[in-house]
Structures are given as structure tokens and as C-alpha cells.
Structure 1
Amino acid sequence: MKYRLHHLIFSFLLAGTSGALAEEQPREVARSIAPAEIVLYIQSDLKRTDFVQPLVCALRRVLTAPVSVQALDLPLGSELLATPTQLEATKVADRFIQRTANEGNAPSFKYLLVPFDLKVDAWNWRYAFSVSFGDETTSYHVGVVSTARIVAGNWWLQSPWDHEITAARAYKLILKSIAYRTGHRGTGACILATPLSLEELDRKSSEFCPDDRAALVAAGVLKEKEQQSDPGCMNVKPRSLPALVVTARRALDDWWGTLR
């Protein structure tokens, strides 16, 4: 039910958005597609990037498509604000699509990582961890991932594996998005479940349910057998923080945000 709701919401957003998201008419495609490449774009304002290497390692281990990282100088100004402290995610995605339209090998799946908090005007939610657009009928397959709420560690409470926790959170968000952008109609469970809080994101599985995994392997999206990472390449480990610590961090960050 959650996925169906999301699918309807995204259909509404695509229909009501100006620019790149609204210009393209969907094409009829008979089956799911497999990405030719996965590109993570690091937006120029994102300074804390220690989680990117373990994130890339984890994605390369399970995906058939090559995974790469690029820096992107993409200004995100006040004209994109949904609230005084949050960017409107659909406007950010539209600018991202237009900026990278001529880059990559189709079908290229592109993800923009930003440090800013996101909100979708059409959703009655306080924030969004990430949003994504496109499916098997469109030429674009993009996502915007905010690290504002998923980054682990802050000035008052840190752990030596914060970057791995951040990578694991981003991994779950991006891998779920990739599966649905290929046209896969999943179970909505395991890694495809929709988290409504940071605690739920940490609790949900980083694995696909058996039926979803089998379908994505058959479609050429996932490797039949996970590969070991290259020597010296750090894996995302199943680390997590106690829920009370996560909640305390989140509450303090929310309070701090009201003072800025």
C-alpha cells in the first residue's frame, strides 16, 4: 500500500511539474530495464563525504551496472526553497535532470547527493530522506538523496563508525530507488519497505526479499552472487546505533535547526 501511494504521488508530481519532468511523454515498454550505469553526483555544497567510498563499494558488490562518482557544481539557490530551511525536492530534481541530460550512457541512473533538507510540497510530511523520478517508460532515471537527516554523528555525540552508518542508510535508499526505477513492481517489504523515520530506516533490512531479488537478478539488475569488494575497499557493515541514541540525536538536531 505504501508503494502504491508513492507511485500515485510521483505520477501526480510528474504531471504537474514544469521543465524536464513534464516535457517528456512516457513511452510504452514491455518489461523492466537494467541500468547501463549508476552515477552518484556529489553536489558542490556537500563537504562531508567520508561515507561515499563505503557506499560505492556496497553498491558495486550487488549491482551488475558499473558505479561511479562525479563532483557536480550545481547551484541550489533560494528560488528552490519549499520552506525557509528546506529545498523543494521536485524543483531540485528538475534542475538536476536538465543539468545532466546529455551525460552518461543510456539508460543511466543518476543520483544527486545534497546536504540540504528536502520537502515535497505535495506530501503532508515534514521532510523527505530522498525522492526519485522516472521508470521503464522514461529517458531519465534520477534520484535526490539528502544527507541532512541520515548523516550519523554530530559535534556533541560521535562514534568511530558514523561514516559506515551513513553509508548503510544511503545504500538502502538508493538501492530501493534503483529497483523501482527499473520498472520492478515489488513486494514493498525488506529493503523495499518505506521508512517513515530515521529509526525505521535503521531497522529495515538491507536485503531484498527472495521474490524481489529473483526478479531483479533475472532482469539483469542484481548480480546472481554478491562479489567481494576489491582489496582495500571498505564494505558497509551492519552497524547501527541504539534507537534511543538515534532519537536523541534527531531531537537535538531538530531543536538546533529551529535556532538557525
Structure 2
Amino acid sequence: MALAQEQPRVVAPADVVLYIQSDLKRTDFVNPLVCALQRVLVAPVSVQALDFPLGPELRATPTQFEVTKVADRFIQRTASEGSARSFKYLLVPFDLKVEAWNWRYAFSTSFGDEATSYHIGVVSTARIVAGNRWLPSPWDHEITATRAYKLILKSIVQTTGYRSKGECMLTTSLSLEELDRKSSEFCPDDRAALVTAGILKEKEDQNGPGCTTVRGRSLPTPLVTARRMLDDWLATLR
């Protein structure tokens, strides 16, 4: 437990709000995502629709938005909502890029820490949504929800100011394969420290009536791989 003793002050969320950007039309994964987050987080989780157009001035490339510019606009837009301990996440369907990083794209990016008055993240569904309109499957929303769950929960923990070795759930994923492969669980020391900090529940809740969740927050690797390979093949036919 040495890691927990060395931690700086962390800011536990008072609430977590998922903002669905107005261009995000495929939202079947949102309910299971919220259920999964509610099962483990102490803070309540809610969803809001947000009329938030993204203009060409926010682009990093012709096909990607610069996530820092989007985040700045998002912080301004929601500044009057919630409190300094509200953790806000903007979900957009567009590809994101961080110009300061030599990466082709970003699944999500976090902004804020224990010392800031804002705690936000921007999450792109462009590369994590499973399936397509030509050949949908009943598990697509579960795969998407699992991916979004990993991204957002990792971001929440980082934005509280918690410091870790970046293992298990807190591993950084640079590809979809890495995101699917990484654990949906925290390492024991991290989990114990986050429970003590009031971020994670000591015991995960069972789902309430009518609340579906991702399948144990871990999907069989062959299933995810097969779905990804099928999507890639269909993309070549467009």
C-alpha cells in the first residue's frame, strides 16, 4: 500500500456527467456505459444532450479535430454547470488528434487535476464504435460500451490527481487492439487506494431494474477480434 501513502491530495468527483454532442447519433452504447460506471463509482453518473457544433476552426487536419481546441470550447460552454468537482465528458463521433503529440489519433484526452477548477475529458467514438449499418450484431453496443468504459474510467482516475504506475485498467492504449486487450479491472493496490479516496465503491453495486450493462465489463477476445476484422473487411468494400 506504499503507493496510496505517497499520493498527493486527490479530488473525488461530486458527480460525473456524460455530454452527448449533437452530431453523435449512434447512442445505443450509452445506457450500458452509464450502468457500468454507476456500478463502480461513488459519484452519481448522468447524461445530457448538448447542442455543441464543432466548426472548421477546431480542426487539426481535414478529417480530425484538435482535441485541445475542442476541450477549451467545452470548458467555456459548461463552465456555469455543476461545480468544481463535477467531472464532465464530451462524447463526439469525430476523429481527434493532439497536435503536440506524434500520434495519428487520440481515443480520448483528459484535462485537469487536483489543482484545477475543471475536470473534463473529450472522447471520440469514431474508432471505438463496433459494427456498421450493413451488418449489425446484438453485441456491438456491448463492445462499444466496454471500450468507452475503459477510456472514461481511466480518465476520471487520472483527473482526480491520482498517481499510478499505469498498469491494469490504468494502462495507456495506443491502438484498438491494445484497448480491447487491456484489463477492465484495477490493480489491487490502485483499487484499494481509490476506495479509500472515495472514488470507487468498496463493493460494486448490482444492476438496478431495467439497467443493462456490459457483459462483466470484459468481452471474449475472439468475439471482439472477429467483429473488428469483419468491420475492417466491410470498410474495404465501401
| Aligned equivalents of 1:73, 1:235: Cα separation in 2 | 27
Matches of 2:59 and 2:158 in 1, distance apart?
27
Alpha-carbon deviations, 1:119-162, whole Å to 9, x = none?
Answer: 11111111110011000000000000000000000134432110
- How far is 1:214 from its partner? 0.5
**Helix, strand or coil at the partner of 1:94:** helix
Please point out which of 112, 129, 140 is paired with 1:151: 129
**CA separation in 1, counterparts of 2:8 and 2:162?**
12
CA displacement at 1:33 relative to structure 2: 1.2
**Contact kept in structure 2, 1:199 and 1:246, CA below 8 Å:** no
Partner of 2:179: 201
Q: TM-score, normalised by structure 1?
A: 0.83
Give the C-alpha shift of residue 199 in structure 1.
Answer: 1.0
Q: Percent identity?
A: 74
Q: TM-score, normalised by structure 2?
A: 0.91
Q: Distance in 2 between matches of 1:217 and 1:151?
A: 30
Instruction: Give the distance between the partners of 1:33 and 1:46, measured in 2 at CA.
Output: 30
- The one-letter code sitting in structure 2 at the alignment partner of 1:100 is T
Corresponding pairs, count: 228
Pick the aligned partner of 1:99 from 77, 98, 122.
Answer: 77
Distance 2:224 2:8 in 1: 45
What letter is aligned with 2:181?
R
- Cα gap change, 1:251 to 1:87, in 2 (>3 Å): farther
1:165 alignment partner in structure 2: 143
| Structure 1, gaps ≥5 residues long | 1-28
SS at 2:60 equivalent: strand
RMSD: 1.7
Runs of 4+ in 1 over 3 A off after TM superposition: 250-253
Matched with 1:20 is: none
Residue 112, structure 1, aligned to residue 94, structure 2:
no
Any gaps of 5 or more consecutive residues in structure 2?
1-6
Distance 1:224 1:106 in 2: 24
Q: Take 1:51 and 1:148, find their aligned partners in 2: how far apart are those partners?
A: 13
Residue 219 (structure 2) aligns with: 239
- What displacement does 1:248 show? 5.0
Question: What residue number does 1:218 align with?
Answer: 196
2-side partners of 1:167 and 1:149: how far apart? 13
